[in-house]
Structure formats: structure tokens, C-alpha cells
Amino acid sequence: MKLKAALLASVLALTAVPALTWAQTAMPDPLDDRSAKRLDKMDKVVRELRAIVFQGRDTGKPVVVQAAETDAQIAALSERLTDLEKTLTKLNGQNETLTHDLDQARQANDGQKARADALEQRLVALEKRLADQEVATTNADTAAAAATSAPTSGDPGAAFKSARQLLLDGDYGSAEQAFAGYVEAFPDSAKAPEARYWLGETQFVREAYGDAAGNYLGAVRGWPQTNWAPDAVLKLSRALVALKKPADACKTLDELARRYPKAPAAVTSRAATTRVQAKCAA
């Protein structure tokens, strides 16, 4: 009995050793890392396919297969980039339109400014003319009052000198009144023709060409050989041009050249210019 027990114990001991060794030795993994990744990928694909199938079955709508995550992001970014490009193109167009409108507004503003400047200049010129007319009217009134209150002096020399000084002072209104008074008071004096010449000058200045022409003509009647006579004939021709009587102006210029061949250069030069204005024959 003891012998059988000992033999059984020996057998159990022998069989226990390999079992222990088997338990301690690790079994090799039939799937390496690559295979595990492939299995995971296949499992993901299967799940996606199942989701697609269930989507079509449950909703009855066309199945929309979503792109992979990276492709979806690229597509979204591409769409956003396209939108941004469209927006930029639109903004560029608006900017060009605004630039064009701004240029038009600037041109219009420049035109308005030019017109405003022209109007300002015209206004200044009109104000000056009005002021000059007021001064001339005042001077004329003063001269008339003086002529009324103090008749022409009985001394022709003093009266002529006084009228000449008014002319030199630029007081044409008073000078005109004084020379007119002299001619009326001393028509036969030696200075009467010259007084008519200066009277014509005061009238020519204020563009009273008809009156000026009459006094120039009276001054040169008889063709006096004086230093002022050639200029009086020239002014007569210019007054006739202003009165639109070119033929008479040309005849007067012919007489100027014939009567006063030694006239000053300034007179002959202005006479040539007047010939052109009157369109006199060469």
C-alpha cells in the first residue's frame, strides 16, 4: 500500500514539471503590429459601411458618403478660400468704382473752383468799375459845381494851366469840364486847338469816341505844325475805328503820313497797328 502511494507520487511529480514549464513559456502572438493595424482599419471600414447601409435603410434618402477627415478639412478650406477670393474680387471692383467716383468728384470740384474763381474775378472787376464810376461821377459833380460857383478865369493862360494840371493829376472828369469851359470861354485863343486836343483825350479815355473824334478834328483843323498834332490825328483815326468807320480812319492815316512825315516813331508805330485794325489797303 505504501509502495503504490510512493509510485503515484513519483508519477505526479514527473508530470508536474513539464506542465509548469509549459505555463511559464509565453505563446508567440500570431498577429504582428502591422496586422493589428490592418485589422483596425478593416474594422473601421466595416463600421462605416454598416452606418451607410443603416442610414439608407432607416431614412430612405440618398446615402452621402463623407470624405475622410483630412479630405473634408481640405475641401472646407478650399471652399472658404474660394469664398474669400470672390469677396476680394468684389471688394476690388467696389474699390475701383469708388476710385472712379472720387476722381469724378475731384474733377467736378476743380471745375466748380475754377468757375468760382472766374466769378470772383468778374465780381472784383465789376466792383472796381463801379468804384471808378463813382469817383468819376463825384469828380464830375465837383467840377460842375466848381464851374457853376466860379466861372472861368478871365486869364486864358491860367485857365489852360489849371485844366492841364487836372489832367496830369488823373482827374479826367474835372479836366474834361475845365477844357470844355476853356474852349467855350476862349474859342479864338492860341491855345484853343490844343485845349480841344486835351478835351478829346479826356473823352477818349472814357470811350466817348464820338465826342473825342469831334474835338480831335477841331484840334487839327488847318493841320497845325505842333508837337501834339500828329498824335491828335492818330487818335482821330483810332476813334473812327472804334466808331466802325474804317474807310474814314484809313483816309485820316493817309493824311497823317502826308502831313506829318517826321512824326515821332511811337506815333508811326501805332499808326501802322491802326492800319491793320482798319484793314487799310497797303
Domain ranges of the chain: 76-149, 151-202, 207-282
Query: pLDDT at position 2, please?
Result: 47
DSSP one-letter string for 21-70:
HHHHSPPPPSS-HHHHHHHHHHHHHHHHHHHHHHHHHHH-SPP--PPPHH
Query: pLDDT at position 102, please?
Result: 85
Cell 472804334 locates to 242
**Cα 129 to the chain's mean position, in Å?**
29
d(CA 144, CA 31): 136
Q: What is the pLDDT of residues 160-207, one digit of tens each?
A: 999 999 999 999 999 999 999 999 999 999 999 999 999 999 999 999
Query: pLDDT at position 115, please?
Result: 78
Q: What is the pLDDT of residues 3-17, one digit of tens each?
A: 445 544 554 454 444
Lowest mean pLDDT, pick from 61-70, 83-92, 225-234: 61-70
Checking if the pLDDT of 151 tops 70, the result is: no
Is the domain 207-282 a CATH 1.10.3470.10 member?
no
**Cα 198 to the chain's mean position, in Å?**
48
d(CA 233, CA 231): 5
- Half-sphere exposure (Cβ direction) of 58: Cα atoms closer than 13 Å: 6
Checking if the pLDDT of 158 tops 90, the result is: yes
Rounded to 5 degrees, φ, ψ at 92 are -60, -40
Give me the helices (H) in the chain, please: 2-24, 33-59, 69-149, 156-168, 172-185, 192-205, 209-220, 229-242, 246-259, 265-278
